[in-house]
Structure 1
Amino acid sequence: MTAPAVSWPRSREALALPLFFGLTFALSWTVWGFRIAETRGWTTLHLPQLLAFTALPTAALLTAALTGGRVAVLAWLARLGRWRVSPRWYALALLGLIPVGGLALGLFRLGGGNVPVGTGLTLAALPAFLLNETMFMLLTEESGWRGFALPRLLRRMSPLAAGLLLGGVWGLWHLPLFFIPGEAQALYSPAAFGLLILPTSVLLTALHLRSRGSVPVAALFHAAFDGMFVLLGVGHHPALMWWLVLVVWLAAAAVYALGGLRPTPQSAGGTRLFPAPPEGVAAR
């Protein structure tokens, strides 16, 4: 019996994720590889670090054009420009991490730890940090991870599996930064960082589903997470980072238990905390 032929457009789409991940890692790791070599005196060639982050939109745009043509490119750009979503998702992205960071800090201090909050980033400087970081993440990391990769993963697997898988890839992508002196990651425990990014990716997946795939919402959450991290000085206190790992896992578990990763029909009394995602998102 002859196997059914696979259409060329469908086969090209199947290559989208491997091509995107391959280009992203090749471009970013090349820049970081030269930076590592430069710090060790193996080369005098200096590549701006910004190039490593622009690898994500570059890879997303090229892959979309090659595998899906104009339709895929426009769909990607639409997610990047999807600002008009319910204000509650912006509020959740911006403020939802306050109890997470507060609980982690409280547990750390109950255990005898002490950290001067605001040393790395003051509250007065926080608004400017959030604005700059949101725009940076919108145009770099989130344009690729949640703007391009996550929608395609969601077509193949459950939201929980997609969030965890993308979190693993996202964490691995940061690996060279642990070997570059002066980079923030060089101060962190690789194990703690890896275990922290997995549930963070799950939380971002829930926001992606509820905000109709809005990359600006994801970028705001990413900026808020980084702001919390710097404000609390997590990177300078290994024990605090492990407490944060625990609390973020608990937050991800709570979101899953509340139905944040699956369609939830509207009740007679109105919309629930996590309403059903837009049509076209499969329930798993």
Structure 2
Amino acid sequence: MADIAAPIRSRQVPSHALVGFFVLTFVISWTAIGIYIIAPEWATSSFGAISGTHPFFFLATWAPAISAFTLVLFYGGLAGLKAFLSRLSIWRGSAIWAAFILIGIPFVYMIGSLMKGGPLVAPLPPEGAGAAVAVLFVMLFLGPFEEFGWRGVAQPILQRHVAPFWAGVIIGTVWGVWHIPAFFLASTVFADWNFFPFLLGNITLAVLVTPIFNAARGSLLWPMLFHWQLINPFWPDAQPYDTWILVGVAAVVVWWNRASMLHRDGAVTEVIPGGGTAG
């Protein structure tokens, strides 16, 4: 019988668990949203109209985090989960990346919006700035929570086998496909977007956050701040120009960091810090 008090080093999340992570994430999200696509009248009458504040929308958005916590608990137990969550406290990182997150991303949105004849910042809702701040706070508990899965589990496991650049490409592709049901919901912003530029954008963003993630030694805090900026309600809708700008930025970033992006040496590979290696 296995010793339940075994050290965390024997409880690393194995590579084959990545399949389970992806499957569980898609099942949760696509089921929660899919019923509103397949049987919209029944779903609305039974659970209420879907919206950005609906419990099912939160469930679908939290699916990567739910899947990540499930796997970490299964393989690492409560001690493993505590160690996994300690990655939220890794705050040291590059000042250049901090400037990119805080200044560079908003700048891209503003330039992209101007290119399409839009405003520098998103118009305030009728309720005023207070309502926009409230939405910003709510957004903190939506998209950034996905990073428990994408960067918490998927990125380290993939980097055991492929270079960080390719890990970003794979996650970005999965991330984009995962959003497909949202494009069929009239109540979401995705309904007005074209999927393929969006998919390219997801791949680009996943590649961009990769060197930030590795430079911060597996921090979950930095990718979450990055993700939060992407959905900040104060930044204007700049589709598709922001995507093309970010593609150019990503190309420069990959070239500048080619030594670390195109080789696995030094890449973060642990899901549970101190959990050792896993096949």
Q: TM-score range by the shorter chain?
A: 0.7 to 0.9
Q: Which structure carries more relative contact order (alpha carbon 8 Å, separation 6+)?
A: 2
| Deviation at residue 52 of structure 1 after TM alignment | 1.1
What corresponds to 2:146 in structure 1?
A: 141
Unaligned 5+ residue runs, structure 2? Answer: 1-9, 48-54, 270-279
Match 2:66 to one of 58, 62, 78: 58
Q: In the TM superposition, what whole-angstrom CA distance separates every residue of 1:36-74 from its partner, at most 9, and x where no partner exists?
A: 235355773326321112222211111122244456434
Check whether the contact 2:11–2:80 (CA below 8 A) recurs between aligned residues.
Answer: no
Aligned to 2:242: 244
- Contact 2:90/2:221 (8 A) holds in 1: yes
Q: How does 1:216-235 map to 2 (within 5 A)?
A: 216-227=221-232, 231-234=235-238
Deviations 1:155-188 (A, max 9, x none): 1110100000000000011000001111111111
* 1:101 aligned counterpart, secondary structure: helix
Which residue of the partner structure matches residue 5 of structure 1? none
**Count of equivalent residues:** 250
Say if 2:159 is the partner of 1:172.
no
- d(CA) in 1 for partners of 2:266 and 2:200? 32
| Residues 161 and 205 (structure 1), Cα distance of their counterparts in 2 relative to 1, 3 Å cut | same
Structure 1: which 5+ runs fail to align? 1-8, 235-240, 264-276
Taking structure 1 as the reference length, the TM-score comes to 0.75
Q: Where does structure 1 differ by over 6 angstroms across 4 or more consecutive aligned residues?
A: 9-12
Q: Distance in 1 between matches of 2:193 and 2:156?
A: 30
TM-score, normalised on structure 2?
0.76
Provide closer, same or farther for how the CA distance between residues 53 and 124 of structure 1 changes in structure 2, counting only shifts above 3 A. same
1:153 maps onto 2:158 in alignment: yes
Structure-2 change in CA distance of 1:218 and 1:11 (3 Å): closer
Q: 1:153 to 1:71 in 2, by over 3 A?
A: farther
Larger deviation: 217-226 or 85-94? 85-94
1:137/1:143 contact within 8 Å kept: no
Question: How far is 1:143 from its partner?
Answer: 1.2
CA contact (8 A) 1:81 1:216 kept: yes
Shift of 1:150: 0.9
Q: Distance in 2 between matches of 1:43 and 1:104?
A: 36
* One-letter amino acid matched to 2:246: V
Tell me the equivalent position of 2:276.
none
Aligned sequence identity (%):
30
1:76 aligned onto 2:80: no
2:24 counterpart letter in structure 1: L
Residue in 2 that maps onto 1:201 = 206
- SS of alignment partner, residue 80 of structure 1: helix
**2:121 aligns with one of 109, 118, 122:** 118
